[in-house]
Structures are given as structure tokens and as C-alpha cells.
Amino acid sequence: MIDVKNLTYQYPGTEKQAIRGISFSILKGEIFGFLGPSGSGKSTTQKILFKLLSGYEGQAQIDNREVRNWSNDLYTKIGVGFELPNHYLKLTALENLSFFKNFYQHTHNPMELLERVGLKEHAHRKVGDFSKGMKMRLNFVRSFLHDPEILFLDEPTSGLDPVTAKVVKDIILELRTKGKTIFITTHQMHDAEQLCDRVAFIVDGEIKTMDSPENLKIRHSHRSLEVLFRNQDAKEVFNLDGLGQNESFLNKLKQHEIETIHSREATLDDIFIQVTGKSLDA
């Protein structure tokens, strides 16, 4: 559905390329996540793909057609959830959706969408009076109002409380079951793990690594077991390999009760820090 090869982009008037020769493909029905520090080029890549930025070099194809060759038909095929919501603040939530509904032949029912994200009782309120999270939810449902095949979501759960974030994530997963292709960017490693079939880590405009969250975790795993024995102050760490023959571990097991026991899989947070060399709030 999305095919990017050696994509490069430099904003006019800047010294440095924001995107430096990246390549990736996203299959139909796949949720693909772009993870990376602030300023690494996540939004820029998405903006090239939905034709907001022109003058890129390399290949950027949507459904086998180069983005620059798409007419406005592209916007029937794709839906876009912008990083910063842009609504008509003087209009109500329902009026906002109804306005965009007019651009398309086929759409979902706006009121049903508002209900899905807990905005039904606010449907007739001016969006200017909405909280940030309410605007984000409206922005999210607007992105797939016209039932697009491909959805670009820039930080879809940013600024949402855990319950609302779960509602949004459940809808994203439901859209995948309908065969939609979804490209998200996020700083939330936990969300990426729950949602994405594959993720790419992008740093300074380059993709550093790309795989499923499961494979990444196995590859970066510590292969160790952390045990806190009862009445002991500190946890002990044992190698998972050959654990059944590890005399010191087996003797400890015979002599002590266990308080807690955990294998130490790498989390996506660990991998983010390893791959990008930056902390999560960088």
C-alpha cells in the first residue's frame, strides 16, 4: 500500500536534510509505527506521503502510484489525523464533521463516530470550548469519517487519559480487522507495542532498525532471570540459558522461598534508548 525508497527531503531555506534516504513498505491491513525522538522526521515523512510537502527526492508511492502523480483523489483513499488538531472553533463538533462530510460521497454517520469517542453529549458544543483531549478525539474520528483505505495518524493518543486512549486504540485495532492500512507515529512505546505489527525507529532522518515489536524484544533481550528470595535485601540475577543446570540457582531454590521472580525481557522503552541513544522525553 505504501512503498518508500531512498526518500530524501530538505525544507526550503534549511541547511540540513530532514529525511535522509529512508526506505520501508507498509502492507495492506498492517499497522506500522514510526518511533523516534522529537525532530527525527516522523511528521515530515507522513506529510510527504499525504502530499503536504512537495519537492522530495526518491520514491514515495501510495498504492503503486508516486505521490506527486496523485490528483486530489488521493484524499478519498487516505485519511489524515494531524499532530495538532485544526478544527473550526466557532462550529460545534457535529457541524465540524458535517462540514467535512460534504466533501465525500460515502461517509460514516458523524453522530455515531462522536458517540464512539465519548463526545455525543458534546456534539452541539462549540469546539472552541473543548479541552485538548476532546479536540484530539474529534480530530481522530474526522480522520476516518470518509472510510479511507489508508490512515495516517500522528501521535493519536497524545494528551489522552488512559481510558480514552484505550477507546482510540481499540478503534485503530478494529479498523485493521476491516483491512485498513494504518501508519502511526508515537512517543508512547506501550501503545506501539499494543498496536503495531511492525515499527521503525527513526533518528536524525534515518531509519536505524525496523521489525515487529516481538522480534525487537527478542533481539535486545537480556536473557536473564531476576529473583528476590524471602528475607534477602537484593535481587539476584541468573542467566536464563542453562538455568536447569545452574547449581547455585538450584541450591538457592531448595533453601529459600521466592518473593518475586521475573525474566528480564527488553521493553520497547529500553530498545528506544539503545537504538536512538536518547531518553524517551528527549
To Mg ion, the closest distance from the beta carbon of 194 in angstroms equals 20
To Mg ion, the closest distance from the beta carbon of 24 in angstroms equals 17
**Can you name the residues that pair with 183 across neighbouring β-strands?**
32, 152
Nearest alpha-carbon partner for 141 in 93, 188, 196, 84 = 93
**Can you name the residues that pair with 229 across neighbouring β-strands?**
258
Which amino acid is present at 86?
N
To ligand ATP, the closest distance from the beta carbon of 38 in angstroms equals 3
To ligand ATP, the closest distance from the beta carbon of 113 in angstroms equals 25
Contacted entry of Mg ion, ligand ATP, none for residue 40, CB cut-off 5 to 8 Å set by kind: ligand ATP
Using CA atoms, how far apart are residues 208 and 45, in angstroms rounded to an integer?
A: 15
Nearest alpha-carbon partner for 28 in 168, 183, 147 = 183
Contacted entry of ligand ATP, Mg ion, none for residue 96, CB cut-off 5 to 8 Å set by kind: none
Which is nearer to Mg ion, 140 or 229 (by Cβ)?
140
Using CA atoms, how far apart are residues 154 and 187, in angstroms rounded to an integer?
A: 10
Computed from CA positions of residues 200, 203, 209, 215, in that sequence, does the dihedral angle turn out positive or negative? negative
Within 8 A by CB and 6+ apart from 112, the residues are none
The footprint of ligand ATP (CB under 6 A) covers 11, 14, 18, 36, 38-44, 83
DSSP state of 69: G
Contacted entry of Mg ion, ligand ATP, none for residue 38, CB cut-off 5 to 8 Å set by kind: ligand ATP
Using CA atoms, how far apart are residues 26 and 175, in angstroms rounded to an integer?
A: 15
Q: By CB under 5 A, is residue 44 in contact with Mg ion?
A: no
Contacted entry of Mg ion, ligand ATP, none for residue 36, CB cut-off 5 to 8 Å set by kind: ligand ATP
Q: By CB under 5 A, is residue 43 in contact with Mg ion?
A: yes
To Mg ion, the closest distance from the beta carbon of 153 in angstroms equals 11
To ligand ATP, the closest distance from the beta carbon of 10 in angstroms equals 9
- Count of residues of this chain found to bind Mg ion when the rule CB under 5 A is applied: 3
Using CA atoms, how far apart are residues 177 and 223, in angstroms rounded to an integer?
A: 34
Q: How many residues does the chain have?
A: 282
Which is nearer to ligand ATP, 116 or 135 (by Cβ)?
135
Q: By CB under 5 A, is residue 181 in contact with Mg ion?
A: no
Contacted entry of ligand ATP, Mg ion, none for residue 11, CB cut-off 5 to 8 Å set by kind: ligand ATP
Instruction: Tell me which residues touch Mg ion (CB under 5 A).
Output: 42-43, 83
